[in-house]
Structure 1
């Protein structure tokens, strides 16, 4: 039996996960809002979370076995140089896999050119019974529309961005059917929320 598939991201009050230029603005300020150090894999600097955020972060990220991301995020981060901050493999949904990516030798990146369903199927195979995390944006929208998500996790940040990339991009609003929140954790500069996806 495979683990749940969860789309997760920090989001503004008006529903955006980054500006149009891909800058997250103040969405990640809560990563440095406390005193509890969270060590990341790769070369990302440690987070410093509040006790509430640290407990929440550990409670679900420690269970993640694989991530599914889009080509845009992969390109912006240079594929985290082959090592995602969570220290887990990741599957990239793309029209064409890169042939000259210098960090490919780590073996952590997997490229799928046949759509979101195949990408999540591969991620489930890699993760086993662990969680498959899905990045927000176009990929989250595709996964939700295809009925592939089990939960939505939102780190709700008290800012208004006005425009940018929405949490679910390119999806009809009527497709978004979420149940009552199973998690509501207020913390400094963020409220952590999790919602089940209704089938």
Structure 2
């Protein structure tokens, strides 16, 4: 069965964006090295260090669908229907666009459980990435998240959008992390404990 994971780049104080949705130096690690990793959208690439490159290649190759919320979808203009992971996108929203045919690689669903189920089906045997903080928190509370992945960057934002906020069923517990030390980011993968 495929793994459902969330992956976010996060500041040391737990934020994935500043109060204005800016990612600024949080994403510096995507251009902090000598190794080119082509995105799967066919249009962009990353320049990262060797450790980050291996992690990024594995994540890109293993992802068969991505789940996000309407806010991120709107903020990115739906990645022009071609997310950098190269996989179809499932958007959890109560207000889908009027013309969903304009987004042939995007599926719109009404709740998180339906979104994860749709993404699993679309992904086949590949992994499902959850790319919105709110959706990741809801999926964790519903027991639908298998892993939490954090690319931790050496900056303190002081305020902003937290990775996990408003959890309904905390505390959540995790196994010890696997750690990849990179340039401008330390990549942590935590398996969700099921006890």
Contact 2:7 2:149 in 1 (8 A): yes
Which secondary structure does the structure 2 equivalent of 1:185 belong to? Answer: strand
Contact 1:69 1:92 in 2 (8 A): yes
Determine if the alignment matches structure 1 residue 166 to structure 2 residue 162: yes
Per-residue CA distance 1:118-151 (angstroms, 9 max, x = gap): 1000000001111000014111110001110000
Q: Which residue of 1 aligns with 2:30?
A: 31
Q: Which residue of 1 aligns with 2:179?
A: 184
Deviates more, 1:35-44 or 1:25-34: 35-44
Which secondary structure does the structure 1 equivalent of 2:173 belong to? Answer: coil
Which secondary structure does the structure 1 equivalent of 2:76 belong to? Answer: helix
Equivalent residue runs for 1:55-94 within 5 Å: 55-94=54-93
Deviates more, 1:75-84 or 1:40-49: 40-49
Structure 2: distance between partners of 1:112 and 1:157: 33
Determine if the alignment matches structure 1 residue 175 to structure 2 residue 178: no
Contact 1:155 1:190 in 2 (8 A): yes
Q: Which residue of 2 aligns with 1:112?
A: 109
Q: Which residue of 2 aligns with 1:145?
A: 141
Superposition misfits of 4+ residues, deviation over 6 angstroms: none
Structure 2: distance between partners of 1:41 and 1:56: 15
Contact 2:179 2:186 in 1 (8 A): yes
- In structure 2, relative to structure 1, the CA distance for the partners of 1:101 and 1:43 (3 Å cut) is farther
- In structure 2, relative to structure 1, the CA distance for the partners of 1:94 and 1:131 (3 Å cut) is same
RMSD: 1.6
TM-score by length of 1: 0.92
Contact 2:13 2:156 in 1 (8 A): yes
Which secondary structure does the structure 2 equivalent of 1:194 belong to? Answer: strand
Which secondary structure does the structure 2 equivalent of 1:27 belong to? Answer: helix
Measure how far apart 1:176 and its partner are: 2.2
Measure how far apart 1:11 and its partner are: 0.5
Is there any run of 5+ residues in structure 2 with no aligned partner, and where? none
TM-score by length of 2: 0.94
